[in-house]
Structure 1
Amino acid sequence: MEKAISAEQLQDFKHDLHTDSRHDVLRRAVSKNGILAASYDLPAVANDINWTFSIDLDTGKVSNQKQSGRCWMFAALNTMRHFMKDTFRVEPGFELSQNYTFFWDKLEKSNYFYENVLKTAELPTTDRKVAWLMETPQQDGGQWDMMVGIIEKYGVVPKSAMPETYNSSSSSEFNATLNLKLRKDAVKLRELVANHASDEEIAKTKKKMLTEVYRILTYSFGEPPTSFDFEYRDKDNNYHIDQNITPKEFFNKYIGWNLDDYVSVINAPTADKPYNHLYTVEMLGSVVGGRPIRHLNVDMDTFRKIAIKQLESGESVWFGSDVGKESDRKAGIMDTRLYNLDELFDVDFSMSKAERLDYGQSLMTHAMVLTGVDLVNGEPRKWKVENSWGDKVGEKGFFVMSDEWMDEYCYQVVVNKKFLPAELQKVFETEEPQVLAPWDPMGALA
């Protein structure tokens, strides 16, 4: 039986409020300054948050994704430029072209969307899968495995070979335009299927659609180079030039990683995802026929240890988290003690990590790079984080993350599988992943 809020209850609410002698002071503080500012408790973390780390990799200057959602792409390319900095002694400000991989990601996501539209064409538009597809046909975000698919197919280039444009640095207009086209194309593809069009007619129509997407992309981002000259001076001011090199040749020569060695490890302590097993996500990807999404779910202790092992080897770590929770963007602090909402409102806001995932309170929203950790008696106390928001936030663009914050809000690390225990390496080699629903929180795009 439904029950409305009664007049008597309203009186009880008011009485409860006014029995607290602090209510006027708190009301003034919150209404004037906002909830977060009024609950900000920097002294609670000041003694523990500093910029000294027992392991601290020199990774050069931070990059800036500006008004785009390419954090996952920036983070991946940053780990690779860290390698180039150490191996080829390129200048600290050197960057790989995020615009180049952005172009190919958008084209591949468009094709991936068309394929999913065709797969679901016989379902009604009210079906949850169809509604999920149409809600966001494509977006800037992505996953590590999606980046691998792009690099394996198209390679990478230095930023000088394909610099930023207005649309790559500020992508909202472009995304609105492309999503308009993709939804319109979905109408046509579903009509073709409903009218029993031949495979040849559908393929011809889809090719025309992709031709138009390529045109939109080229006008917006520029056309990707098929070859280029790579010129640079190293830290000793020695001049180097590599002429007429292709993007795939560039990746093989200057980075040369076996990307099959780098795997996604997650921490999702929900009942539907037992630890030490593989998971994938339905309808999540970009390159059709490319590397599939695969996540190995592990407990938090294992999650930490493998990240530390990679840092100890001198290699930075791509990771995904819910960066907006309990963090101070300007100061570059991520700490669960930073805001005291419970005390401010006299309300218990606590939820477990599993509860936040299951009830939509948290999911992975942003990818960054671990470049350091502070170990005390072998245990991590805090972590150094390279962000991609430019050098005007944090400590010249770097953030400090408490180990407790990592526990609660970090969901994914990408590591070389050699740092996994042998039994977990075997899981990657032998286990078929369980398929999660498209809307599962582990399908969130950073």
Structure 2
Amino acid sequence: MIQRPKGTADIYLDEMAIWQYVEETARIFMHDYQYSEIRTPLFESYDLFTRSVGDTSDIVQKEMYDFMDKGDRRLALKPEGTAPIVRAYVENKLFGPEYPKPLKVYYLSPMFRYERPQGGRSRQFHQLGVEALGSANPAVDAEAIALVWELLAEIGVKDLKLVLNSLGKKEDRLRFREALISYLEPFFEELSADSQKRLHSNPLRVLDSKDKRDKEIVKNAPNILEFLSDESKEHFETVKMMLEELNIPYTIDSNMVRGLDYYQDTIFEIMTSSKVFGAETTICGGGRYDGLVEELGGPSDPGFGFGLGLERLILLIQKQEIEIPALYELDAYVVGIGEETNVATLKLVQAIRNAGYSADRDYMNRKPKAQFRTAAKNEAKVVLTVGEDELAQQAVKLKVMQTGKEVSVPFNEIYNNFERVFNTNTTDMTAFNEFFGKE
């Protein structure tokens, strides 16, 4: 038997209902915040990610799926969302005067990283992300953070913590980098193998090490917040003030750096202490990347964005037993009793759908009791029953599931005016009975 590749998942039925709820809720929030959807290719030039993410990052060195195509071009499956959108921004000249500033876009997309699969971490994973390009206003930072914070609150996720830091400008990081290397060099032999490799190539990543010994060493490392320029200090203080004005709680972690080289100034993570992951885990992260557009050949337009891991969010929803409302309600279920009702049942279901309502029926020749159970399980608002007597009379038995009352409705009323039948039925039972001459 051919099986799905390791690190991928099949999503269906009840779990898919959770995914669809999250995605639909996210789309509503995005449009409320005036973010429009953007879709970029699943594969891009390999060079896009080495230039943006950084050739010393784990993504490029260890995790990226890259390959040569039949035209001998080196390509990579998309490992993150920001670089492709900035590439599209530059290539399509979305910075032109005919486009809004800032340009606010969002994406819902699968991505790919070759890493060890575990809870909430897959080789094909999905992200909800936003990018706001063209404004350095700290309100853009605060608004994006507020968006995802309120989205998670709307979904009902608990045990969340917002963590902030600032990486300053490029010049600030260079000064901090030198101080950090000077601090870490005496501890070289005690550092983990990964941190030893990173010490001179990407020392900020040592601050983000998960190794217990590394964590102890960096506790007394220089604080990046002490190396910020006046401009970066003012920006960060304004972001914090705005979040306070919005009543969004946060903590500061000066050792948080994020894993991508393009970040500067504000960065943030939303973490959960839920035991579903066994340890405190990041479900959303992002920040400002004011030099990336220019790095990829565009103007010096600033940017801010985040990515929210949907697999981890779905696991949290399941673990916390958050009730998910039905997105697609069943308006009508047609019960057919006997094979001779097969055609009439099909015509009734199609007439109801053509009137703009959702409808279903049985296709397995099950007994009426089993069909009624299905209708109840799917919370059908009305059930229409067709048997031998109903065929002879050319009228269905319509039952209102909420009230339990039943009436007889001519087939023609279903075919020609189901909207009136349904609305009268579900809003005013007395008027419905009067309409059909019932006492």
- What TM-score results when the alignment is normalised by the length of structure 1? 0.19
Pick 1 or 2: higher relative contact order, CA cutoff 8 A, min separation 6: 1
Structure with more of its chain in strand, by fraction: 2
Which has the higher Rg, Structure 1 or Structure 2? 2
- What TM-score results when the alignment is normalised by the length of structure 2? 0.19
